[in-house]
Amino acid sequence: MKNNNRRDFLKVSSLALAGAALGAYDLPFNQYSYPTKRLGLQLWSVRDAMVPDPAGTVKALGKMGYRNVEGFGYKDGKIFGLGMKDFSKLLKDNGIKMPSCHHMITLADCNAGTKSVSDSFKKAVDDMASTGQKYVIAPWMAEEDRPKIAELINAYNAAGDYCKKAGMRFGYHNHNFEYEQKGPDGRLLAEWLAKETDPALVALEMDVYWVHYAKQNPAEWMSKYPGRWELLHVKDMASTEKRESVEVGDGTINFSELFKNSSKAGVKYYIIELEHYRTTSMQGVEKSYKGFTAIK
């Protein structure tokens, strides 16, 4: 997820994505089956509707067919102005679950010496765990932390350890810079994340659009690190000079070919996201839902 407003938002507030330990509750996808019960929507896509009217927006998403959402914006026990349990009830009343939620963590939230995380991060995890969420996903890597990628890896493993104790999974969501910028040893930041984080503690959420934007091949990364990519952000790319995000099925990304790697990649959830709009945000995510379900 990205654009300048998005980046600014991430720097000043905690985002929330729900997480939990994986078990036998769910099987990986394969190229022949994309069950809608494992299809979700990142609510950032409809932030203009969620902020003023979370109840009406959630009701409309349920009618579209969405059965999962990925949250953001958790702060002080609330999300979209509602307590976590109240928001969870709103979702449940509309046949929707929130298995994942984005929540920021930086080096300031981790004591490298004791491998512990801050009390504020612990509270966020505990609040999310209380509603049965499965994943807490870091949506962004602070620019000032990137040169200290080795320390950040330790922070992510520490976050993963705390999430695991809470019955959840910690994960990381990429943008394009992880596939463009290099760490101190010359490896891409994406390589550090995939290679150095502990698979038992940290899951990876691949944003397919941003991997393509960085002119990398998502399928190659999925094959190189099988089992690591437990969530996929499904965003299509326009064939324009700006290569903005576009409704699923209307862009240049061959999802059908890419999804053939889903089972080995370890995918548990597909999550639609839309950051640019040709109509309204709600019309856009409805069109994306239909585009996804048409993939063969």
DSSP 88-124: HHHHHHTT-EEEEEE----GGGEETTTTEE-HHHHHH
Domain of residue 188 covers 4-293
Report pLDDT for 252.
Answer: 97
The 10 Å Cβ neighbour count of residue 159 is 28
Confidence check: pLDDT of 75 > 50 = yes
Q: What is the pLDDT of residue 231?
A: 97
Closest CA to 294 of 243, 259, 245: 259
pLDDT of the residue at 18: 34
Give the mean model confidence (pLDDT) for residues 200-226. Answer: 97
Segment 102-126 shows an average pLDDT of 91
Residue 35's pLDDT band (boundaries 50, 70, 90)? low
Q: What is the pTM of this model?
A: 0.89
Amino acid type, 171: G
* pLDDT higher than 70, residue 6: no
253: domain CATH number is: 3.20.20.150
**What total of structural domains would you count in the chain?**
1
Maximum CA extent, the chain? 50
At which residue do the structure tokens 């399928």 appear?
219
Contact present, 80 and 53 (Cβ < 8 Å): no
pLDDT tens for each residue of 79-101: 999 999 999 999 999 999 999 99
Average pLDDT over every residue of 21-34: 41
In angstroms, the Cα distances linking 235 to 10, 128, 175, 206 are 19, 26, 12, 11
Angstrom distance (rounded) from CA 111 to CA 155: 8
The pLDDT score that the predictor gives to residue 7 is 46
Q: What integer pLDDT is reported at residue 173 of this predicted model?
A: 98
Over residues 54-59, the mean pLDDT reads 98
